[in-house]
Amino acid sequence: MAVCFSSPVKLKSIDHFTLLFNPKPKNNTNKPIFKCNASVTTTATEPQPLFTSVKTFAPATVANLGPGFDFLGCAVDGLGDYVSLRVDPSVHPGEISISEISGHSKLSKNPLWNCAGIAAIATMKMLNIRSVGLSLSLEKGLPLGSGLGSSAASAAAAAVAVNEMFGGKLNSEELVLAGLESEAKVSGYHADNIAPAIMGGFILVRSYDPLELMRLSFPQNKELFFVLASPEFEAPTKKMRAALPAEVMMPHHVWNCSQAGALVASVLQGDLAGLGKALSSDKIVEPKRAPLIPGMEAVKKAAIKAGAFGCTISGAGPTAVAVVEDEEMGKAIGERMVEAFWKDGNLKAVAVVKRLDRVGARLVGSIPR
């Protein structure tokens, strides 16, 4: 199915925002703060495609990170979604079609109802693409509803694919805004998955109006591994969000704030023990959500007992995420976490050990015109 930009897709926030920041290369680590203000303006002239086809990858992401609830996330390498995008003369100019989805059978090929499609449309609109038709193929590497930013990975890969196809004219923050269109539709207007999926590393979402993102650079000379234990269990974001309290006791607010500060400092200082401790310290969200995921509390205990620096729920779950500095040790810890999911939660689970992704969504292949 092809969709024209004059279709009824709502690009609410894009319509309402204007990007005021200067264009700069993606993944620029020198200037850690990015600001977008008011509405995104489309590029003045329509760019032409530089490629016949491009292929992009976008990583899984771990949002929340305990006390970083709803404003902090990071990218995880080696897990994610691929998007292949090609110029398709059979698609009406200015429209996009989803030709294939592999790795998941339930996803809609209607671009208006597909994360990749929505983000691609938003990006094409920003670029003012009117005279080229595109075909998109999505390879899902991430399961849905796992707490690993599955929708954000699809959206990020699609937004970056469209942008790369036309010469990379949009910067990271504009791409995050495009991805946010998709996130808003499927899981809420939250950038804590889509921002790190596009930009890599740790990203702090400072505000939405204007969108302001801070890159928290984990030191290049230090290693950081995540153990991700995913049980066969559905933890719908809606249900997990409904479990949250409307109000927070002041002492818990102060506690979580201080742990959030400690988490940020630990990331910037490359202090794994501090990071893990902060990860485990949430007194507000995790205590409400963990009981809804069978075995989660035992999994956390098992991970820490086995030597993880810390453990919490990844995103809204059900994946449990632990932090380690050594890959082999991470594998052993993953086994303990899987055992605990089985023993205490009666859930089958699989565990993987993955590095911090410092790059974010990227081009992995292209055929020049």
Q: Which of 23, 93, 103, 245 binds a copy of itself (CB under 8 A)?
A: 245
Q: Which region, judged by CB under 8 A, interacts with a copy of itself, from 242-250, 294-302, 314-322, 329-337?
A: 242-250
253 lies in the site for a copy of itself, by CB under 8 A: yes
Listing from the earlier edge strand, what are the strands of the sheet with 310-313? 310-313, 320-324, 225-231, 349-355
Tell the smallest beta-carbon distance from residue 198 to a copy of itself (Å). 19
Tell the smallest beta-carbon distance from residue 272 to a copy of itself (Å). 12
Q: For residue 301, give the nearest of 315, 280, 275 by alpha carbon.
A: 280
Q: Which of 47, 143, 210, 274 binds a copy of itself (CB under 8 A)?
A: 274
33 lies in the site for a copy of itself, by CB under 8 A: yes
Report the distance separating Cα 153 and Cα 316, nearest Å. 16
Beta carbon nearer to a copy of itself, 5 or 255:
255
Q: Work out whether strand 134-139 and strand 96-102 pair parallel, antiparallel, or are unpaired.
A: parallel
169 to 30, 31, 128: CA distances (angstroms): 19, 19, 11
Report the distance separating Cα 135 and Cα 89, nearest Å. 9
Question: Which residues between 181 and 210 bind a copy of itself (CB under 8 A)?
Answer: 204-207
Tell the smallest beta-carbon distance from residue 262 to a copy of itself (Å). 5
3-state secondary structure at position 184: helix
Tell the smallest beta-carbon distance from residue 28 to a copy of itself (Å). 15
Q: Which of 211, 264, 293, 324 binds a copy of itself (CB under 8 A)?
A: 264
Beta carbon nearer to a copy of itself, 96 or 279:
279
Task: Measure CA of the first residue to CA of the last residue in the chain; give whole Å.
Answer: 25
Which tokens go with 201?
A: 């590393």
Could you tell me if 335 and 344 are in contact, meaning their C-beta atoms sit under 8 angstroms apart?
no
Beta carbon nearer to a copy of itself, 48 or 269:
269
Beta carbon nearer to a copy of itself, 257 or 367:
257
319 lies in the site for a copy of itself, by CB under 8 A: no
Report the distance separating Cα 256 and Cα 254, nearest Å. 6
Report the distance separating Cα 311 and Cα 322, nearest Å. 4
Beta carbon nearer to a copy of itself, 11 or 275:
275
3-state secondary structure at position 261: helix
The answer for residues whose C-beta is within 8 angstroms of residue 277's C-beta and 6 or more apart is 262, 266, 309, 310
| Total interface residues for a copy of itself by CB under 8 A | 38
Tell the smallest beta-carbon distance from residue 292 to a copy of itself (Å). 17
3-state DSSP of 115-182: HHHHHHHHHHHHHCCCCCCEEEEEECCCCCCCCCCHHHHHHHHHHHHHHHHCCCCCCHHHHHHHHHHH
Tell the smallest beta-carbon distance from residue 31 to a copy of itself (Å). 10
Question: Which residues between 44 and 73 bind a copy of itself (CB under 8 A)?
Answer: 67-72
Largest CA distance in the chain: 61
Q: Which of 45, 220, 247, 368 binds a copy of itself (CB under 8 A)?
A: 247
Beta carbon nearer to a copy of itself, 183 or 271:
271
Which residues contribute to the site for a copy of itself (CB under 8 A)?
32-33, 67-72, 204-207, 214, 216, 244-250, 253-254, 256-265, 268-269, 271, 274, 284
